[in-house]
Amino acid sequence: MSMWKNHPSSLKRLFFTEMWERFSFYGLNAVLVLFLTKSAHIPENLALIIFGSYVTYVYLATTIAGFLADRVYGYAKVAFMGGVCILLGHISLALSDVTFLLFYFGLGCIATGTGLLKPNVSVMVGKLYSDAEEDKRVQGFNIYYMGINIGAVIAPTAVGFVAEKVSWHAGFGLAAIGMAFGLWVFHKGMKDFPSNCKLENKHLRQQKLIGIKLDYLIYIGLIILAAIFASLLANPVQSTIVSGICLLILGGYIFSLWRKLQLNERNQVWIILVLSLFSVSYWTLSNQTISSLPIFIDRVVDLNYFGTTLPASSISSFYSLILILLAPVIAWFWNFSKRINREPGYAGKFALGLTMATLAFVVIILGIMQASHAGKMNLFWILGCYTLLGFGELCISPNGLALVTKYAPQNLSGVMMGLWWMINAFAGLTAGLLAQLIGFENTDKLATDQQLTIYQSGFIKVTLVGIIITVILMMIKNKIDRRG
């Protein structure tokens, strides 16, 4: 295929690995909140915090991934270890009808494993290209990102249908099968990955602490981490407190790292840190597609089409589909704007993405206004919202990954990518907290028009948050781009 032309052969392996890993991840995300509220009968406010905490823990684990990759195992080995953790987690979810404790342990394993795999596969994509191949690196990330979205298109429809129409645990089992495929693809390509992705510290691995090899201590530590995540997820209020403490620790870590950087490195890292905050803001809005919007769709959106009722969880497939359809259009637009010397910098692209995300919730408000006269809301308003959010994501996510690989100091590539994901981790928690504004609690028994009135007020608040953040970035984007 021409898509692969002039790109390293390992890009294809990473493409399919991430496609299947994302199948398992987005399949779970599509059904998680609905499972918690409809099957486990957990109150909406707690279910949203559990979801948000789970997403946060996924990305908190990325800092460990950076350390293990840079100092011990190399990027490829840590990514594989993460895949094994994810597979174990999905199997635990599938068996959680035996005891619900397996459900929380499964989420803990998936959070740990995804934190290990995701940043290291991203770094591996960047490592396939030299510094002189910046344009090709961005193209490679766009291709890689397409693999993510193919998995994300298939997953909600397949896993959502099985979960809602057959059984929730069968849906979890299907996600496990997807992860098994991804792990197999990655392992088959291990020998072909470039050497800079497989640099191990064999001497350190053989060192002993309290008489036990470091290797074994790391494996035990990962299991303990999954168990800690599981315990926190089972206690959502305590989980929120712990997330706040982690935020303070993260601030101290960034300050410590900053003090060790040279002047030119600080300038580059400053760009990464500032734009990471606006990336968090975007994902806080975008994560509503897998937190608040599935509940909203399930309750007040008309899903009767083609003589059947569509599973509410399957609608998020459209979001990923629009990403695939828009990706070449956005890539062409950036190339065209570059040819005429009008391409925006990273901050300008982020500002455009946040603008689209904010407008997406304006569409929801308009749809609610229409529904107040016609009963349930038309599904096409949701599709319009997802289209704008997809446009925004394509402005932010691939450019965010590219800017980290471009500006990260050479000996801190893994740490900076881990730090990028760790900062973005809090978008899970903030998304869960932002969803509280919409007002789902104790509304499922109300008439549809009464629910719509409550939800309209909530989405207006969400939109105002988006407007404020976008205006702030607009005010400082030129300063950021000049530094780059």
Mean pLDDT for the chain overall = 87
H/E stretch holding 112: helix 101-127
The answer to whether 417 and 123 have CB atoms below 8 angstroms apart is yes
Give CB contacts under 8 A, 24+ apart, made by 227-232. Answer: 227/105, 227/108, 228/108, 229/54, 229/57, 229/107, 229/108, 229/111, 229/112, 230/101, 230/104, 230/105, 230/106, 230/107, 230/108, 231/104, 231/108, 232/53, 232/57
Q: What percent of the chain has pLDDT over 70?
A: 96
- The strand pairing partners of 208, in sequence order, are 213
DSSP-derived letter for residue 311 is P
DSSP string computed for 225-239: HHHHHHHHHTSHHHH
Task: Please report, as a single letter, which amino acid is at residue 106.
Answer: G
User: pLDDT band at residue 114, thresholds of 50, 70 and 90?
Assistant: very high
Per mean pLDDT, which of 191-200, 232-241, 282-291, 303-312 is the most reliable? 282-291
Reported as type and span, the H/E element at residue 213 is strand 212-213
What confidence score (pLDDT) does residue 386 get? 96
Query: Which of 276, 392, 286 shows the shortest CA–CA distance to 330?
Result: 392
Q: Which domains does the chain have, with CATH numbers?
A: 2-483 (1.20.1250.20)
Assign 3-state DSSP to the chain and report helix, strand, coil percentages, each to 5: 85, 0, 15
Structural contact between residues 299 and 445, judged by C-beta atoms closer than 8 angstroms: no
Q: Indicate the pLDDT class of residue 62, thresholds 50, 70 and 90.
A: confident
Bridge partners, residue 69, by sequence: none
Q: What is the mean pLDDT of residues 388-413?
A: 84
For residue 113, the model assigns a pLDDT of 95
The token pair at 479 is: 């300063």
Nearest C-alpha neighbor of 300 from the set 384, 206, 371? 371
Q: Residue 12: name the closest of 155, 125, 180 by CA.
A: 125
Q: Which residues pair with 309 in a beta bridge?
A: 304
3-state secondary structure (DSSP) of residue 209: strand
In this prediction, residue 374 has a pLDDT band, given cuts at 50, 70 and 90, of low
Q: Which pLDDT score is estimated for 88?
A: 95
Distance of CA 81 to the CA centre of its chain: 19
The residues, any chain, with a CB within 8 Å of residue 302's CB and separated by 6 or more, are 375, 376, 377, 378, 379
Structure-token match 């635990």, residue found: 92
C-alpha to C-alpha distances, 184 to 80, 124, 180, 307, nearest whole angstrom: 10, 17, 6, 39
What tokens does 21 get?
A: 């890993």
pLDDT, tens digit (0-9, with 9 covering 90-100), for 115-168: 899 888 888 888 887 776 767 777 788 788 778 878 988 999 999 999 999 999
pLDDT in tens, 240-279: 888 888 888 888 888 888 888 777 778 778 888 888 899 9
Spatial CB neighbours of 15, under 8 Å, sequence gap ≥ 6: 143, 144, 146, 147
- Cα–Cα distance, 310 to 270 (Å, whole number): 46
What is the Cα–Cα distance from 417 to 183, expressed in whole angstroms?
22
What is the token pair recorded at 2? Answer: 């021409």
- CA separation for the pair 419, 64 (Å, rounded): 10
Q: What would the two tokens of residue 394 be?
A: 């394509």
| CB neighbourhood size of 72 (10 A) | 18
What residues does 212 pair with on adjacent strands? 209
DSSP 253-275: HHHHHHHTS-HHHHHHHHHHHHH
- Give the C-alpha separation, 232 to 412, whole Å: 30
Q: 96-101 long-range CB contacts below 8 Å, 24 or more apart?
A: 96/169, 96/172, 97/169, 100/40, 101/230, 101/234
**Is residue 285 a contact partner of residue 466, using CB atoms and an 8 Å limit?**
yes
User: What are the pLDDT digits (tens) for 94-109?
Assistant: 999 888 889 999 999 9
Average pLDDT over residues 57-78: 83
Q: 397-402: long-range contacts (C-beta < 8 A, 24 or more apart)?
A: 397/145, 397/279, 398/138, 398/141, 398/142, 398/145, 399/138, 399/346, 399/349, 399/350, 400/275, 400/276, 400/279, 400/350, 401/122, 401/125, 401/126, 401/141, 401/145, 402/126, 402/137, 402/138, 402/141
* Model confidence, pTM: 0.84
| pLDDT at residue 414, as a whole number | 67
Pairwise CA distance, residues 349 & 343, whole Å: 9
Would you give the DSSP letter of residue 106? H
